[in-house]
Every structure is written in C-alpha cells, then in structure tokens.
Structure 1
Amino acid sequence: MAVFPAEDARLHLKRHLPAVGGLTRPEKWHITLAFLGEVPDEGTDHAAGVLDDVPPPGPITLRLAGGGRFGTVLWAGLAGDVEPLEAFREDVRSALVGAGFAVDGRPFRPHLTVSYRFDRGVQQALAGYAGPSWPVTEFALVQSTAGEYHRLRAWPAGSAEGR
C-alpha cells in the first residue's frame, strides 16, 4: 500500500536534486505504508478485499521536506498531515496482519527513497529541501515486477465529511 506524490511535487524535487547517477526514477517515487513482500496473485485479491474495509483517513495534505539516509539509501522526508497518515497506516497494517498477511513490522518512518547510492550532493540538497504541498487523493495497492510498479487497485483518501 502506497501514496504517490502529485506530479508537480515529484518534478519539483527532481529539479532540486543534482543530476547524478543512481537516482530512482521520479515516476517510481512513493511513500510505502505497508510492505507485504511476495504475495501470490490470489493473495492480492484478498489483500484488496481487506483494504476495502479500512476507513479512509479523510483529507490529507503532504509535502516532501528534509531528508536523511538509511546506510547508503537517501530519502526525502514528509511534512504536513503526517499524524493522520501514520494513524491510517496503522489501520492498514492492523487490518492486513489481522487477515494473516506478513507486514514489515519495523517502525513507520514515512519517507520517499530517491537513491540507493549515497551521494553527498544529494544528501545536502535533501537536507534543506521544502517542496510544494499536495492533497493526497488516493492510496494504492502496488505490485513490483521486474523493477516496475503497477497499481493494482486504488482507494480514495476520503473527504472531510467521511471523518
């Protein structure tokens, strides 16, 4: 389950980063809410059914801001409505675990991976970065195949009335 930033937010970040090798492609940039690992085809339908029952969080606005690293991995951080995103992520995780899925149990540190190769210039660019805000309109169930991401299903973020 993931959130994909709006195109203008991705392009803004791309323009802010130095042109170096090793950056992941902006169309792949996303914030992972729950990582399931290998799931057979019938399992994705089951996961989608479980996610159908998770109430949407309502309107959330995010922006990419700051950054950091996990070893050699460089990432952009998040600002904005991070608390409701974290609460929604916990609802998603709990629902999937309750349905028998093995969800990555590490603490949630919302981020967007921009490179798997450390580069000091990229790290410095991310440190002071503050991108434009965007409204989260949907959450997507994503499958990774041969390094490409495919949106299998999406759910609307919800409205203020749905909270």
Structure 2
Amino acid sequence: MRLFTALWPPQEAVQELSRAVDALEELPGAEALRWTRPEAWHFTLSFYGEVTEDQAADLRARLVRAARRAPGPLPMRLHRAGRFGDRTLWVGLQQEEPHRQALKKLAAATTAAGRRAGLLPDDKHPSFHPHLTLARAKGRRTADLRPYVEQLESFQGSPWSARELLLVRSVPPRSGVPGEQPRYEPLERWPLGP
C-alpha cells in the first residue's frame, strides 16, 4: 500500500477555497488543467511510497510519538497561490511564528519516522514547502499558470487549526480513464500535542 502523512483542512476552509477555485475553472485555458477534487485537498508532510504491513506497524508507532510531541493544534489559514514551474498550481499557508516552525518540525518528524521505519533513505532530507495542490497540467504538457496565481493573489481564507496528523493510503486509479485521480483513505488519526 502507498502511504503518506498529511494535514487535512476543515470543511469550512475547503468550501471557501472551492468558491475561489470555481472562478478559476472559468478562465481561458482551464481545460488544459486537471483540477483536484476539494474532498482530496490536503497538505502532505511526508510521502513513504509502497509500505508492507510490518513496515506500516512500525511507522504507526513512530508517528504516534511524532504527533504527541507536536505543540498541540497548529493555527493557520489558506493563503495565496503559487506554482511549480508550468505544471502544478497550488495554494499555500499563512502562519505566524512559532507555528510555522512547529509545522516544519512536524514534517521533519514524520520524515524521520519514515527513515527509522526503513521507508526512506537516510540521505533524504527534503525541503518542506507546505502547499495544497489545486491543479496539474494534463499529461506531459505544460500550461501558463500565471493567470491563476494572479487571480488568487489576494485569497486569504479564514483561520483554522490543524488538530490531527493523518496516515493516509493513496489508492492509484485503476480504470485507465485519462485524468482519473487517486483516492485517499485515512487509515489513522492522531491528535497533535500531549
């Protein structure tokens, strides 16, 4: 099974962002993008790839500790958009210090849990850039994402707090239908903080 850890925004935050994204889907060229479904919007902390049942059990034990060591709920808000080249459109987070550092530490702890469970190489120290993917260019094409980023320049969602660390299973599409997206199934949830 393919696993990753994530934070999931609450329904109210998703609805606010969804209204802003609906307007983006009306812009010229939007059909060249594969838009992610709002119910799948999340912030990935660490991606582990294929994991056996034994590895998953070890990982779970380590993630329980990582969640417990986090400093309680993490205040944040969805804020502005950005892009990774001409392939991926995303929305980011706005956080005050020390919450920004606490989120980075949580991401590092979930990555360390994956390394200690033998799922990630020791030399893997990815930089953490919290983002929620809104759309990707279809196939191997690229797209001019600047108009979408500009449209969301002033977007600022309402404040909310991440309260749980989730271990999520990614179920890849099987139908062969172009554009079909993976399905995400939360397997475990742990409250953040002692």
From 63, 69, 72, the counterpart of 1:58? 72
Aligned to 2:58: 46
Question: Aligned equivalents of 2:39 and 2:108: distance in 1?
Answer: 26
Cα RMSD for the two superposed structures: 1.8
1:127, 1:143 → 2: CA distance?
Answer: 32
Larger radius of gyration: 2
> TM-score, length-normalised on structure 1?
0.88
1:153 corresponds to? 188
- TM-score normalised by structure 2 residue count: 0.75
Higher deviation after alignment, 62-71 or 87-96: 87-96
Question: Is there any run of 5+ residues in structure 1 with no aligned partner, and where?
Answer: none
- Deviation track 1:116-161 (CA, whole Å, cap 9, x = no partner) reads 1244442222322111111111110011002100001010012xxx
The answer to whether the 8 Å contact 1:57/1:88 transfers is: no
**What pairs with 1:90-129 in structure 2 (closer than 5 Å)?**
90-102=108-120, 105-117=125-137, 118=143, 119-129=145-155
For 2:140, the equivalent position in structure 1 comes to none
Is contact 1:56–1:156 with CA below 8 Å preserved after alignment?
A: no
Q: Aligned AA for 2:171?
A: T
Distance 2:56 2:151 in 1: 37
Residue in structure 1 matched with residue 106 of structure 2 by the alignment = 88
Does the Cα contact within 8 Å between 1:13 and 1:131 map onto a contact in 2?
Answer: yes
Aligned equivalent of 1:6, options 7, 10, 15: 10
1:42 CA drift (Å): 3.0
The aligned amino acid for 1:105 is H
Partner of 1:70: 84
For 1:23 and 1:123, locate their aligned partners in 2 and report how far apart those are by CA, in whole Å: 14
Q: Percent identity?
A: 33
Q: Counterpart of 2:72 in 1: which secondary structure?
A: coil
| Paired residue type of 2:184 | Y
Moved more, 27-36 or 79-88: 79-88
